[in-house]
Every structure is written in structure tokens, then in C-alpha cells.
Structure 1
């Protein structure tokens, strides 16, 4: 009996160290994998709603005690028996009653009663933000994915050990850090969650550079699992703690600071839970397609401002959008990132709103499509694109994307005069050697002065624009001369065609028209050549002027001899293998 009692106590005792919490989460994932929940994309959403309800119940128990001490009325978000302490805790009254009933009753309560009740909370009259949040997180759960009641009870026992108040001997750690570890598993290449995942170090650097402050609004139009918003919360909360921030400031941070959009039904509730675990009581997330503006739920986004102080985001790489999305924008293209860049510019406060965005290399260098050029012209005309960081090629490899990427930092409200570049492209980043903060130390050290080095340089846009205009001018002059030469032929052609049809000289018309069209075509080609030269201003790719290009200076004869020598080596190896 004593042993049984001890077991119950073990099941209800919170874990006290980061290591023990990590081990508990690993155990939960292992239990889920015993059944049909085999990948992180499956078990992270399952653990998300359970962990959220566990933390919610713990939070409301604490709030109830505080309200009681102050003699203030407290209304919980959930009634009995739907609170975690009733059905999830090992000693919960509802759980013990269910465990004493026939096999299958526990599943029936979870799937047919609990989940359905939680899904419909937001439809109650006067539903609170927290109740809406519960329903939004539960909106696509439907039923538990865990296959047996034994596995379900084991998972609940482990989740109950996870506490938002867990501490060890040296520091307090947030459960959010553990949850980030779970999201990292989703972001791994073989888990199909990489499209929603931005490497943590990239997120931290972007937020550190943007340095959001209390009173500002932070927005991510394609927030995925909420990484940028969560890190912004950590950054701003640490600032408050260091400066003894007021209760009002903490309340503003939790309630009226963070805004985002996400279209994936799998990811949206995960983002909500992630932000709640990062002490964001009201995550203002809009569920729907940002680019088409088709919303599935805007209940948490109501009252959001039309523009934002800070935007931090990583739009999807390589996406293709249809007409429905393109019609929402001035410069129409199928490129997802180009449309998102237009959305971001339009969503920034017009007087000093600032942005950090991850873009692929193609967006920077492409000038062969009108929408790319016009969007970058809008960026340079309306915003101060003050910094571009060229990231190493392997940064997104773990997430299944080998694309070369860059960080863009800009401020809306003034045109770009100079761009400071920092080049990290020579770094060799792999899964075993990931990007770390150390790789950004020199960048952060040079950032205040934007100083030059082997890895950094500044481009003066006005000088570059003048140089390109000078280069293009001869072609414009030639085009002008061609059009002047064509003008008399055009006038004569009009005169001939204006004559009565019976008096028209078809041969003369054809001859003059051929000359006129030929000269006009030549003029147009010269004008296009000049425009192509001037459009090079919008090729923003980082090309480090301090590094000479590797040029093979061998003669054709030397190259042929090299190839022949390699061929002889291969022949010798093959002959040896045959012997």
C-alpha cells in the first residue's frame, strides 16, 4: 500500500531540472511512437494541446490563489470536469472515476466529451480571450492520436510532471525552452516540418538587431510555429527584468504586443501554444492565407493595427502563388517571397517601422521579371535598406532547404542611400557544425559603425545609379537616333495609308513599312539594353569586393593535358582491378 502511495506521489511531483524535463519529454515521444504516432509532425501537435491544458490549469490555480488572497472574484476558463486537474492529473477525481470504469470509457470521455467541449468554448456568449484561445488550439484535434488507454495514461502522467514553475539549483528555465526543442525535431529534414522552421540562431540575431521595445508592436505575416514572435517576447521581457519594468509594462507585453498570421491548420495551434508558453497571454494570430487575404479565423486578431512597428519574418522559399493572391498586389508575380515582401513593406509603420526578413538569393539578384524589379524599386524608394547579411549555404539544410539565403534589414519612411553588406557565405555549415552566435560576433561588433573589413563593405546607391546611367546613355542616344531616322518613314507611311484604297501603292507601303518597323525594332532593342543596364541597380546580391574570383588561368592545351592525365590514372586503376 505504501509502495502504491509512493508511486502516486511520484506521478504528481513536478520535475526540478532541465535535464529531467527533457528526459520526460523524450519519454512522452517514445510512448507515442509505441503506437501509430510515429513522426514529430504527428506527436508534436498531440503533445501541444495536452501541454497547453496542463500549463493553463497550473496558471489558473495560481491566479485563483492570488485572487483569493486579494478577496477578488475569479472565474476559471474551464468548469469541472474539464480542467486538467480533473481528468489529466493522476489523482484527479474524473480520471480515477474513468479508470474504474470499463475499457474504452476513458477514450470516450476524451474524444466525445472533453475535446468537443473545448472546441466549442469560443461560441459561448461573452467567451473570454482565453476561452477563444483554447478553442483555437483545439480546432483541428478531433480526437487523440494515441492508440491505447494504457499509452494515454502513461503520456498524461508524464505531461503532469511538466511544470511551468520548474527550477534547478542554478537558474529558472522556461518550459518554452523544452517546447522549442520539440519544434526543432519538427524542423528536421525527415519530419516534413522544415517549411515552418527557421533556425534558432537566425531568429535570435534578427531580433537582436531589430531590438523591439515596450510599446511597439511586433508582427510576422507567415509566423509558422511562432519563432520570431516568441524570441521577441524573450528579448523584451529580459529588457523589462533588467530595468525593473512596471506591472503595466509586463501587462502590455503579454496582451497588446504580438501579431501574426499563419495558414497551415497543423501549425496554427502549435504557434498559439508556443506563444502562450512564452508568457504571451493574448497572441493576436490570424488564421488564413495572408496573400489572398482569405481568413479562416480572425477572432484573436480583432483590433489589430493596420501597420506595425517591427516586422520579423521568413517567407516560404520557392513558393508559387496563383491569380487570387497576385490580384491583391501592385506588382503581380507567382513568386511567394516577392508578394510577401510587398506585404511587409505595406504593413510597416510609414514613419520608422523596421523589418528583418530572410529572403532567398534569387529575390536579390533577379532583374529579368518586372515584378522583381518593381518590388525592389519600391523597397529602395520607400525604405532605407541599410543592411544585407549574406548567410552561409548550409543554414537551412537541416530543415530540408539547401537554398542560399540573406538577411535584409530596412526602415520604412526614407529612401535607401547606402547599403552595408556583411558576408558570411564562406562559412561551412552542416548539421554537425550548425550556425552559432560566435559566427555573428564580428558582424555585431561592426554593426554600430558599419565598418569595412574583409567581410563587410558599403555600396553607395547614388554613385552606382549614376554609373549605370552613364553606361546606359550611349544606348539611349543610339535609340533616339534610330527613332529620329524612323520618324520620316512613319509620317510617309501614314500619308500613303490615308489615301483612298483604290489609289494606294501596296508595294511602296510594304517597302516603307519594313524600313520603319526595322528602325523601330532596333530602337526598342537599344532601349531595352539601356533599361537592362539601369536595372542592374536592383541586383542586390552580395558580391564581396575584397575577394578575388577564382579564375582558372590554364591554357586550353594545359586543360586537355590535365584531362588526359586523369584519364590515364583511371585506366591504370581499372587495369589493376581487373588483374
Structure 2
């Protein structure tokens, strides 16, 4: 009986080699005349890596099915699999490659005529699909366009990406960090597009204090490139001890929604690279759902989000909200959606079979939301929404961020709202995050660091008033027209909170400086008189 020849596993790419590989790929992309900056280059690199990732995942599932003696039905058919058209270094090239990708009908790598690659992938949503993965593929490629004009440069990119092994956890971990750095660069490059991406330190702080638990359902209804979901995944992953818990984290813990095709694709890849094999992200505008149609079964335990600022929604979207609360301001519509989407204390969770763990059914859902200053001081519809927030929810904390946290996208001051659906608001704590000494605002080159939340994190669990923190009551806010744009009453009284010995030392130091300055002035006066 002839021996079966073992296929040698490819050697793993080191972190240094992987970094060099990605750098080389990006240099190749810069040569193509059809791409305009990182806003074009990163999406192209993303969909190429997505297809390689998908093929590696399919190979693994095929091997697992083979070991179990079961047939495997692939998501992608031949000749559209990566291995069929991309993995051969001397495979289809030039205009032939571009035609296969771009045209509705083309000559395929096996010499037959049929749908082009993108046309085939976009049609996957029409096929029967138990897992929902085909719909994800269709949605990802619905917004994808190949802007490269050189099929030869594209072949060079395919050969580079083929060297990445998405079956290696080490390589994927390294690549996830490289990918995050590329995402930051692309966000910086598209700062004028109206997208206010949340800085990683803010995301990490919001996740840390909200503390999602295994068994809970976490949602970001405006997930962008997936920053909150990635951070929540990393936070929850530390709690996994059993296979059942891992399955829940993979399939039933994290959900998102994104309306724009490019961020949707980037979010899918971002989560895949961080280890979430089947990201549960819906493609489409969250606000198209009528508010009154959100019942108990659809509500969630935790919402972490930075909804769009300053956008305006069309009349059809506004009609999904109560007549007295209709507005075109996107942030206010999302705030209403978030309030409605939080689970009521004692109500069942989203889906079934997910009742173990978490904080227990006796407690309602909780949210951490980024809002602009306008939401805090807004009147009319904004005031009615805040009235509902304080009378039906517990708005326990407002963290006021300093200017420039969202640089370079906007200088609009932002705030973090933390509230729970477990009764009405009694007291509201405010914490004003200070700028480092000597700085007027954050900038793109000098951004906020996570370590600067250290004092706020320490205060969070043992609250008391001080130079950065103060407390008010819901009744006081109501008497002031539901205005939450409160100034720090302790900001000019910081000296009162210093130790007496420190105050004396500071005053003596000032006295020395004053005496020194007076001496120098006297010398100048004497010199002029002479």
C-alpha cells in the first residue's frame, strides 16, 4: 500500500518578518496610480487578507470534518477559493486578474466562463446559510471596489499576503497589532470624513468600569471599526475557563451594527484578527428599527458605544421614534435607542440558552455612551430625552473629557454617560478628567494616554468630592431645565483640598520667587537711574 505523502507545514513568520511583509505590501500599494492614500490602501489590503483568512479557516474546518469522518460543505466554491486563484505565485496576472475580480462575467482561473470574483461573493447572501457566514461575505463585498489599476502590482500583493498563516495564533496575534496601527493611520488620514473614532484609552476605560461578564450580551449599535467590541472581547476572554464559556464568547456574547460598508468590512477583519471567528455584526442603519418594536427578547445587558455626532437623519428614520421625541440629531436618536434596548430588571435575555453567568436577571442592563456637550445642555427634545433618562434610568456618572481627546477629527468637547436600567436617578456624580500640567488640550501628536485615567479609576470605587469630582441630585437638574452641562464647582477651590503642610510649603515657595523677582526689578531701576 503506497504511503501518503505528508504535506509539510509552512514555517511560521516571525513578528519581525510579518512587520516587514506588511510594510513591503504597503510600499507596493503606493506605486499603484488608482489608489489615493491610506483611505484606499488599507481597505484593499483588508479584503485581500479577509479572503486569505477565510480560506485558511475553511482548510481547518475541512481537516476537522475529515478527522470526524464527516463531509464538509465549503462556504466558497472552486474556482473562487483563495487557493484556486491567489496562492500560486505565477497564477493569473495583469489584466486577466483584474477582469476576474471586477467584471460581472469573466474567464475564471480554470479557463471556464462565469461570474467574476466580486459578483460571485456578493451573491452569497442569496444562498441557504445556517451560520450566517455567507451573508457576512456578501455584505463585506457589497461595499468593496478594487481600485488598483495594475494587475501586476496586485499579484505582488497577493503573493505577500499568501505568506501570512491565519492558522497560527502567534501570527494572527502579531498581525492584529499591526492591523490596529494601520487602522489608526487610516483614521488620521480620513479625519475630515465626519467619523469620530474613539481613542483606545477611552474605549478601554469605558469597558473597564462597565465590567461586562460572561453570560451577558454586549452590544455596540454604531460599532464603526469594532474598537469597543474588540476591547470587550479581550476583557471577557480573561474570564473563560470552560469550553462552554468559550463557545458563548465566540457565538453569543458580542453583537454590533454598522451602516457604512467600509467600517463594516474593517470591523469584521478587526474582530477576526483578535480571535472572534464569527463576528455577529449586522450591516445596516440601526435606527431603521421602530423603537416600539424592541421587546424584552431583543434587549441586552451591556451597551458600549460612541454614536455619530452631528449627523442628520431623514424623515423616514425620525418616524420610528415617538412624535414628541423626533429629531434629526443622530446622537439624540441613538440615545433613545440605547435606553430602549437595555434589558429591564427581571426580564429574559436576548435569545435562549444564555442565562448562566452575568449579574443575574434581577438587575437591569447598563450602558456607557459617548455624547457631545450639546446633548448635555440641549433643550426641547433633548430636555425631554434627559427627563426620561433621569426618571426611568439611573444616570449615576458623567465623566467630562477635556478638549482635544478626539483630535484630529474634532475639538468638540465630549462626555461619557454611565447609566443603568434599575430605577430612577437620585444622585449624579461628575468627574472632570484634568489635562496634564502645562497642557491646554490634547492633539494628534500628543494624545490622551490610558494611564491618565488612573485617578478616575481609583475614585470610581471609592467616591468622594474633590478638585475633580462633585455630586448633584436629579431634582436639582430637573429644576434647572434638565441641563447636565454643569461646571465643576470645586475647580477654583482646589487649594482647600490640599494638606495644610503642603499649602504652607507652596506659599513659602511663592514668597521666595516674589522676593527674587523684586530684587531683580530693583537692580534694573538702579541701573536706569545711574
Q: TM-score per shorter chain, which class?
A: 0.7 to 0.9
Structure with bigger helix share is 1
Task: Please say if residues 206 and 368 of structure 2, whose CA atoms lie closer than 8 Å, have aligned partners that are also in contact.
Answer: yes
> Larger C-alpha radius of gyration, 1 or 2?
1
- In structure 2, the residue matched to 1:560 is none
Q: Distance in 2 between matches of 1:181 and 1:447?
A: 30
Distance 1:426 1:106, change over 3 A: closer
How far the C-alpha of 1:225 sits from its partner, in A, is 1.3
How far the C-alpha of 1:341 sits from its partner, in A, is 0.7
Give a deviation string over 1:486-525, Cα, whole Å, max 9, x none.
Answer: xxxxxxxxxxxxxxxxxxxxxxxxxxxxxxxxxxxxxxxx
For the pair 1:456 / 2:452, whether they are aligned, the reply is no
- In structure 2, the residue matched to 1:123 is 126
How far the C-alpha of 1:50 sits from its partner, in A, is 1.0
How far the C-alpha of 1:148 sits from its partner, in A, is 1.0
Q: Distance in 2 between matches of 1:192 and 1:183?
A: 15
Task: Please say if residues 163 and 175 of structure 1, whose CA atoms lie closer than 8 Å, have aligned partners that are also in contact.
Answer: no
Question: What are the equivalent positions in structure 2 for 1:391-406 lying under 5 Å apart?
Answer: 391-398=401-408, 400-406=409-415
Question: SS state of the match for residue 459, structure 1?
Answer: strand
Task: Please say if residues 311 and 348 of structure 1, whose CA atoms lie closer than 8 Å, have aligned partners that are also in contact.
Answer: yes
1:262 to 258, 261, 274: 258
For the pair 1:536 / 2:480, whether they are aligned, the reply is yes
How far the C-alpha of 1:212 sits from its partner, in A, is 1.2
Q: Distance in 1 between matches of 2:76 and 2:63?
A: 16
Task: Please say if residues 185 and 191 of structure 1, whose CA atoms lie closer than 8 Å, have aligned partners that are also in contact.
Answer: no
Q: Distance in 2 between matches of 1:353 and 1:256?
A: 16
Give a deviation string over 1:398-420, Cα, whole Å, max 9, x none.
Answer: 2x211100111110131111112
- In structure 1, the residue matched to 2:245 is 249
Question: SS state of the match for residue 42, structure 2?
Answer: helix
Q: Distance in 2 between matches of 1:325 and 1:172?
A: 40
How far the C-alpha of 1:452 sits from its partner, in A, is 2.7
Task: Please say if residues 470 and 488 of structure 2, whose CA atoms lie closer than 8 Å, have aligned partners that are also in contact.
Answer: yes
Structure 2 length as normaliser, TM-score?
0.78
For the pair 1:389 / 2:395, whether they are aligned, the reply is no
Distance 1:97 1:441, change over 3 A: closer
- In structure 1, the residue matched to 2:21 is 24
Task: Please say if residues 196 and 406 of structure 2, whose CA atoms lie closer than 8 Å, have aligned partners that are also in contact.
Answer: no
Q: Distance in 1 between matches of 2:121 and 2:404?
A: 42
Root-mean-square deviation over aligned CA pairs: 2.6
Question: SS state of the match for residue 389, structure 1?
Answer: strand
For the pair 1:136 / 2:144, whether they are aligned, the reply is no
How far the C-alpha of 1:272 sits from its partner, in A, is 2.4
1:284 to 252, 263, 280: 280
Give a deviation string over 1:115-169, Cα, whole Å, max 9, x none.
Answer: 2222212212346422222222111225x2222122111111221223335577x
Question: What are the equivalent positions in structure 2 for 1:168-183 lying under 5 Å apart?
Answer: 173-183=173-183
How far the C-alpha of 1:34 sits from its partner, in A, is 1.3
Question: SS state of the match for residue 408, structure 1?
Answer: strand
Q: Distance in 2 between matches of 1:122 and 1:196?
A: 30
Q: Distance in 2 between matches of 1:82 and 1:403?
A: 46
- In structure 2, the residue matched to 1:319 is 311
Distance 1:121 1:216, change over 3 A: same
Task: Please say if residues 357 and 409 of structure 1, whose CA atoms lie closer than 8 Å, have aligned partners that are also in contact.
Answer: yes
How far the C-alpha of 1:454 sits from its partner, in A, is 1.8
Task: Please say if residues 385 and 408 of structure 1, whose CA atoms lie closer than 8 Å, have aligned partners that are also in contact.
Answer: yes
How far the C-alpha of 1:43 sits from its partner, in A, is 1.9
Question: What are the equivalent positions in structure 2 for 1:102-113 lying under 5 Å apart?
Answer: 103-112=94-103, 113=116
For the pair 1:43 / 2:45, whether they are aligned, the reply is no
Give a deviation string over 1:277-318, Cα, whole Å, max 9, x none.
Answer: 333333333322222449xxxxxxxx9952111101111112
Distance 1:108 1:13, change over 3 A: farther
- In structure 2, the residue matched to 1:521 is none
How far the C-alpha of 1:172 sits from its partner, in A, is 7.9
For the pair 1:98 / 2:89, whether they are aligned, the reply is no
In structure 2, runs of 5+ residues without a counterpart are 1-7, 104-115, 346-363, 495-530
- In structure 1, the residue matched to 2:527 is none
In structure 1, runs of 5+ residues without a counterpart are 1-8, 295-302, 466-533, 551-579
For the pair 1:154 / 2:164, whether they are aligned, the reply is no
Distance 1:205 1:106, change over 3 A: same
Question: SS state of the match for residue 78, structure 1?
Answer: coil
Distance 1:128 1:320, change over 3 A: closer
Question: What are the equivalent positions in structure 2 for 1:288-437 lying under 5 Å apart?
Answer: 288-293=284-289, 305-330=297-322, 331-351=325-345, 352-366=364-378, 369-398=379-408, 400-427=409-436, 428-437=441-450
Q: Which moved more, 1:443-452 or 1:104-113?
A: 104-113
Q: Distance in 1 between matches of 2:194 and 2:244?
A: 37
Question: SS state of the match for residue 355, structure 1?
Answer: strand
- In structure 2, the residue matched to 1:211 is 211
How far the C-alpha of 1:443 sits from its partner, in A, is 0.8
Task: Please say if residues 455 and 544 of structure 1, whose CA atoms lie closer than 8 Å, have aligned partners that are also in contact.
Answer: yes
Question: SS state of the match for residue 40, structure 2?
Answer: helix
